[in-house]
Structure 1
Amino acid sequence: MDGMLFQLFVYLCAAVIAVPIAKRLGLGSVLGYLIAGIVIGPALGLVGSETSEIQHFAELGVVMMLFLIGLELDPSTLWAMRTRLLGMGGLQVTLSAALIALAALTLGADWRLALAVGLIFSLSSTAIVMQTLTEKGLTSTQGGRSSFSVLLFQDIALVPLLAVLPLLASPELMLIDAEALVHAPEATDADTLVHAAELSLVAGLPGWAHGLVVLGAIASVLLGGHFLSRPLLRFVAESRLREIFTAAVLLLVVAIALLMTLVDLSPALGTFIAGVILANSEFRHELESDIEPFKGLLLGLFFITVGAGIDFEILFGDFTTVLGLTIGVIFLKGCILFGLARLFRLKTTDRWLFTLGLAQAGEFGFVLLNFSLSNSVIAAADAKLLSLVVALSMLLTPALFVIYDRLIQPHRSGVEPTDADEIDEQGPVIIAGIGRFGQIVNRLLIASGIRTVVLDHEAAQIETQHRFGIKSFFGDATRPDLLRAAGIEEAQLLIVAIDDRDRAVQLVEYVKRRYPSVKVLARAFDVNHLYLLRKAGADVALREVFDASLRLGAEALKQLGMHPFKVEKMARAFRRHDEAGLDQLYELWDEHPDVAKNRALLARAREHRETLAALMETDRLQLHDRTERGWTPPPKGAQE
């Protein structure tokens, strides 16, 4: 236990110190994590043999990241990406593998080894690239979208790669491994074999059965995600216990990752599919906000283990070879990537972003190298050397992004004309609360063609909206992480219509402090609540019953026989006087007034009521009103 606490302390301490420093220096958080790993691993020796085990656990961060990416894509969006996904992604993997294999053949490698190395190094780091693109706000650029398409294809390609690599086994290595087994029979006892079989549902199955099990696993993810996940999440949400909902979300992700592992598929691919299925779910934003902290911590831990796992003894012992191979891989992949960027007509800056971002090897390279080692494809010495090349190329990736930031992006305006901004007067509007008040606001905006994101913490309310075809999402709008997931950073308006008056004030105060450019319109329950919302910074705050009360009062006057025009004029005068009075009283209002200030406020309120009564009496006695709208017929029995 003490050892575990010490390791936890070391990793957290390294992250807390190194990452902020790296961010301040403009190097990005990924490089900060990698440097932290190097410091606590090879440099100080604070972590050791447990690094690889921790890395396997930390790969859950990559799995969660793919789940979150899937949540951002509904099936129609994924279909729209098919050209980049299949065309650009397929060409990148094929051409990169071929060129790297050709280079390996030139260096004297056997054709089996050369092809295996080419396939392994054709993949890039989803974790580093997507984390960096998101951090720098580049995911929505042409280069960012193209990078994501290629990375997604690479994750899909991992499945056939696991099937192809054993076919490249070297006869010499197979013979050596067989002799090693003969001389070490204790390593192949029945318990070991049973344990290995327990970790796989497809071990020892014939090809057709293996395929059926894999298809069944994928089908279970598709059907379960579509038909079972929503009722489950709805049931858990009704408990109104946030920690249980978070546990349910983690259970969903871990269960899918475990199922994919049992059938020898990529866990990241399985959770990505589940994310796409849930992209249109009302729980989408809540899922994002609950998974995001775990994803960030685990990804950070993964990057630290990459840095800590670098074997500096091999690096310094054969530094020229390792560095040469690393630069060679980056250069060869860069050539392919740059050519594809030109072929698919990316703009100059996006072309360089695409090229520099994907030129490294990926975290799945470690998995494939270990898999190749266990299947007699690569010798142990070569696997260690190539693992170091993978790690070093990942370590250099943040430096490539620094080159993009410092040398390429600043010259963007001089290299190419920038596209005009797309003016969208129907910009995103977030509505917090979809009760009776929020429903009417949302219906008016949707009818006017304005896109809205609706959040409500009542699962039953969300379900009701869905029955009427109104898209809305489950979640507590006062949570900062959920607001970010809903797009508060890009929103033009936030409409606060939640039923809890205190939380409404807190929400307005937080948004105006953190996102001052967002206009906030809020529903007030009464005058005191309206003043609290004003104090919190609301741009507009309206009492929920004022308009309805005024209209009903005007209708009462009409029913009593008063001319409609006179009623309309009196109602408008009442509104103007009331709004002016609110402004005057606000100057004296205090949330916690002393006695003297309270007396002054009450005196001003009495004066305001007396002025209003006099104004209404004057309007009522004006006789010329009946002729100002001759076309408006007075109701039957109207007073003359």
Structure 2
Amino acid sequence: MASELHFSPVLSDALVILGAAGIVIPVFARFRITPIIGFILVGMLVGPFGLGRLVFDYPWLQYVTITDPQGLDPFAEFGIILLLFTIGLELSFNRLWQLRRMVFGLGALELTISAALIAFALMTMGQYWTGALGLGLALALSSTALVLPISGTKSPVGKAALSMLLFEDIAIVPIIFLLGAMAPYASSDGMEGLWYTIWTGGLTVIVLMIGGRLLLPRLFAQAARTKSPELFLAASLLVVIIASLATAAVGLSPIVGALLAGLLIAETEYHTEVEGITAPFKGLALGIFLITVGMGVDLGVIIDNAWPIFLAVSAVLLVKALVTGGLLRMMGARRGTAVETGITMSSPSETTLIVLSAAATAQLIQPQTAQFWQIVTAIGLTITPILALLGRKVARHVDTAPATDEASQETDPSEGRAIILGYGRVGQLIADMMTRHDQRFLAIDSDPELVTLARRRKHPLMFADARGPALDRIDLSKASAIILTMDEPVLAGRLLRKLRERYPDIPIIARARDTAHAAELYRAGATEAVPETLESSLQLSEAVLVNVGVAMGPVIASIHEKRDEYREQIMREGELTKKPKLKTSLASRNSEASGEPV
């Protein structure tokens, strides 16, 4: 039993993949190079066309090579599914509705024109029109798995790429049906099957949307109450798998279901926590996919056909870059945005391999032709990160105009808002006061009961745990202020140091238990630290003085003076080298002038 376990191909492949991830990610990060290239190179090295060729001569190489390349396909597909799921988490139905013209306008034009030009070129070279059309549609697709992680979804380039890639993901189903209908042996059943898939798929999507809106908030609220990250992860993966299986069962791509699951969860308060907890699995699964891409690159065939392959890759890249960039310029995009998007989107896609396989199965192209274009696709995927870097550099040269607010049109959750970390008793009071004075804010808490309360009080709240990695994924650089309200001194100090190191210029106001804790928070970088014991004493003093007959104005002034004295004392105890500016002094002067209490 031990011997069988020792020589298990599954364990051997798993060790190779995990070892690759452990080496590639830190090494390439050290040199600030995307690990995408590293995973593809590892696939070329350990695949059947690399060291795998030498396993029969050197049996020990089986421990550092992939012995079952086909066995990795399900994991690679799951990686793409998780990628589309996380893309859905970054979107929302409102944002998707805003992109509808780009998706069905720009996306449709880019795919149609690119496919037509590539097909026309192949027809002039002697390819029959059905095969040329199949190849044109396959090569016109661009890589969702590589482009979006590089470009993001909120920049002008990311928005344009997302629009086109969404349309391509939707179009993949009718493309495959079209190729089947054009097969020499196909009958009219092909188009009937397409219409059947369209209406059953549409019905499935509607059911998932209605069911998701009703069930997902309750599901994640129950998972959150357990305080168990494992259960939260299980619930997230369950939603992804059910949605993917549902769309696959009616003939749609499983990535449609994954994208829909992400969109539905993005509408809940739990999307940040879900995104953070599934990120490691997505990265590893995407790495497996990239390794499978590298394993398909045969350097021997490339060397033997170097010139035709070079011309084919160059032609595909040139046609797609010109079409994409030209369409974006016609639609009013800046030159830099058009150039960078065109170059980044110019390589073929992982779904190109699927369409090529469908075209070969339908006998529209010969197996040798399919193999040639599979190599072209693998090379295109390999150089996608290089193309993105090239596009970024070229964009800087061709676009000297100042950047517009195009990127800022996307709503940043922290932009211009005060961030309240903790929505307990103190956080709720601050939220009420912010609402009364028409100030924008966003509360962050990991208590599902408080999520329900915030929804009932119409306070914006994001579900995230300040102790976990989810908060690290939230960009607070555009926040107007950060308020720490948690009643946990150790956590508050640790979190404050992290926030101050990351955001040195943002005001951070922290709740303290007593004067000693306040001094510690000042040392950690707090702009203001408010001890509860001091404030309760001052409020009690104010009530006593007013009730014994002292006028309100002098009482308020003396309370503020005493507060400033205590704060200066606390800061001296904290051994601050630079005192924060005391905003309360200005507030007290304003209150004295207006005669109103602060």
TMscore range, shorter length? 0.7 to 0.9
Q: What corresponds to 1:442 in structure 2?
A: 431
Q: Give the conservation status (yes or no) of the 8 Å contact 2:487–2:511.
A: no
Q: 1:240 to 1:20 in 2, by over 3 A?
A: closer
Q: 1:584 to 1:517 in 2, by over 3 A?
A: closer
Structure 1 CA distance for aligned equivalents of residues 214 and 83 of structure 2: 23
Query: Once the 2 structures are TM-superposed, how far is the Cα of residue 542 of structure 1 from its aligned partner?
Result: 1.0
Structure 2 CA distance for aligned equivalents of residues 492 and 568 of structure 1: 28
Query: 43, 61, 72: which one pairs with 1:37?
Result: 43
Q: 1:436 to 1:369 in 2, by over 3 A?
A: same
Percent identity between the two aligned chains: 29
Query: Once the 2 structures are TM-superposed, how far is the Cα of residue 558 of structure 1 from its aligned partner?
Result: 1.7
Query: Once the 2 structures are TM-superposed, how far is the Cα of residue 227 of structure 1 from its aligned partner?
Result: 0.8
Work out whether 1:581 is the aligned partner of 2:565: no
Query: 17, 20, 23: which one pairs with 1:17?
Result: 23
Query: Once the 2 structures are TM-superposed, how far is the Cα of residue 210 of structure 1 from its aligned partner?
Result: 4.4
Q: Give the conservation status (yes or no) of the 8 Å contact 1:141–1:350.
A: no
Query: Once the 2 structures are TM-superposed, how far is the Cα of residue 407 of structure 1 from its aligned partner?
Result: 4.2
Q: 1:273 to 1:33 in 2, by over 3 A?
A: same
Q: What corresponds to 1:76 in structure 2?
A: 94
More deviation in 246-255 or 260-269?
Answer: 260-269
Q: What corresponds to 2:441 in structure 1?
A: 452
Structure 2 CA distance for aligned equivalents of residues 583 and 48 of structure 1: 61
Work out whether 1:349 is the aligned partner of 2:336: yes
More deviation in 240-249 or 42-51?
Answer: 42-51
Query: 253, 270, 281: which one pairs with 1:294?
Result: 281
Describe the superposition over 1:397-456 as per-residue Cα deviations: whole angstroms up to 9, x where unpaired.
Answer: 2221232244442x366x334448979997243221011111122233344444433211
Query: 315, 320, 326: which one pairs with 1:339?
Result: 326
More deviation in 551-560 or 415-424?
Answer: 415-424
Structure 2 CA distance for aligned equivalents of residues 280 and 549 of structure 1: 43
More deviation in 96-105 or 45-54?
Answer: 45-54
Query: Once the 2 structures are TM-superposed, how far is the Cα of residue 107 of structure 1 from its aligned partner?
Result: 1.3
Letter aligned with residue 28 of structure 1: T
Q: What corresponds to 1:149 in structure 2?
A: 163
Letter aligned with residue 238 of structure 1: R
Describe the superposition over 1:280-316 as per-residue Cα deviations: whole angstroms up to 9, x where unpaired.
Answer: 3111111111122211221122112211221234323
Q: How many residues matched?
A: 556
Any stretches of 5+ residues in structure 2 without a counterpart?
53-63, 577-591
Q: What corresponds to 1:472 in structure 2?
A: 461
Structure 1 CA distance for aligned equivalents of residues 170 and 197 of structure 2: 18
Q: What corresponds to 2:250 in structure 1?
A: 263
TM-score relative to the length of structure 1: 0.80
Give secondary structure in 2 for the equivalent of 1:365: helix
Q: What corresponds to 2:231 in structure 1?
A: 244
Query: Once the 2 structures are TM-superposed, how far is the Cα of residue 268 of structure 1 from its aligned partner?
Result: 1.8
**Aligned positions of 1:515-526 closer than 5 A:** 515-526=503-514
Structure 2 CA distance for aligned equivalents of residues 100 and 439 of structure 1: 60
Query: Once the 2 structures are TM-superposed, how far is the Cα of residue 323 of structure 1 from its aligned partner?
Result: 2.3
Q: What corresponds to 2:151 in structure 1?
A: 133
Query: 67, 81, 87: which one pairs with 2:85?
Result: 67
Work out whether 1:433 is the aligned partner of 2:418: no
Structure 2 CA distance for aligned equivalents of residues 451 and 578 of structure 1: 30
**Aligned positions of 1:107-122 closer than 5 A:** 107-122=125-140
More deviation in 246-255 or 32-41?
Answer: 32-41
**Aligned positions of 1:209-248 closer than 5 A:** 210-248=197-235
Give secondary structure in 2 for the equivalent of 1:59: helix
RMSD across aligned positions (CA): 3.0
Q: Give the conservation status (yes or no) of the 8 Å contact 1:143–1:346.
A: no
Query: Once the 2 structures are TM-superposed, how far is the Cα of residue 320 of structure 1 from its aligned partner?
Result: 2.3
Q: 1:490 to 1:6 in 2, by over 3 A?
A: farther
Letter aligned with residue 446 of structure 2: H
Q: Give the conservation status (yes or no) of the 8 Å contact 2:340–2:394.
A: no
Work out whether 1:88 is the aligned partner of 2:106: yes
Describe the superposition over 1:18-47 as per-residue Cα deviations: whole angstroms up to 9, x where unpaired.
Answer: 444444555422222222222222332243
Q: What corresponds to 1:540 in structure 2?
A: 528
Letter aligned with residue 416 of structure 1: A
Q: Give the conservation status (yes or no) of the 8 Å contact 2:20–2:42.
A: yes
Work out whether 1:279 is the aligned partner of 2:286: no
Query: 401, 412, 415: which one pairs with 1:416?
Result: 401
Structure 2 CA distance for aligned equivalents of residues 60 and 519 of structure 1: 43
Q: Give the conservation status (yes or no) of the 8 Å contact 2:180–2:190.
A: no
Give secondary structure in 1 for the equivalent of 2:349: coil
TM-score relative to the length of structure 2: 0.86
Structure of higher CA gyration radius: 1
Q: Give the conservation status (yes or no) of the 8 Å contact 1:478–1:506.
A: no
Q: 1:525 to 1:143 in 2, by over 3 A?
A: same
Structure 1 CA distance for aligned equivalents of residues 447 and 485 of structure 2: 13
Describe the superposition over 1:582-627 as per-residue Cα deviations: whole angstroms up to 9, x where unpaired.
Answer: 2344349xxxxxxxxxxxxxxxxxxxxxxxxxxxxxxxxxxxxxxx
Describe the superposition over 1:85-111 as per-residue Cα deviations: whole angstroms up to 9, x where unpaired.
Answer: 111101001111111111111111111
Query: Once the 2 structures are TM-superposed, how far is the Cα of residue 149 of structure 1 from its aligned partner?
Result: 0.8
Letter aligned with residue 507 of structure 2: K
Give secondary structure in 1 for the equivalent of 2:574: helix
Q: What corresponds to 1:505 in structure 2?
A: 493
Query: 557, 565, 588: which one pairs with 2:545?
Result: 557
Structure 2 CA distance for aligned equivalents of residues 315 and 140 of structure 1: 37
**Aligned positions of 1:480-491 closer than 5 A:** 481-491=469-479
Q: What corresponds to 1:611 in structure 2?
A: none
Describe the superposition over 1:533-581 as per-residue Cα deviations: whole angstroms up to 9, x where unpaired.
Answer: 2233222211235335423321222212233344334323432332233
Work out whether 1:158 is the aligned partner of 2:172: yes
Structure 2 CA distance for aligned equivalents of residues 447 and 569 of structure 1: 24
Work out whether 1:571 is the aligned partner of 2:559: yes
Q: 1:391 to 1:207 in 2, by over 3 A?
A: closer
More deviation in 16-25 or 240-249?
Answer: 16-25
Q: What corresponds to 1:185 in structure 2?
A: none
Q: 1:453 to 1:359 in 2, by over 3 A?
A: same
Q: What corresponds to 1:367 in structure 2?
A: 354
Any stretches of 5+ residues in structure 1 without a counterpart?
176-201, 589-628, 633-640
Q: 1:20 to 1:458 in 2, by over 3 A?
A: closer
Give secondary structure in 1 for the equivalent of 2:383: helix
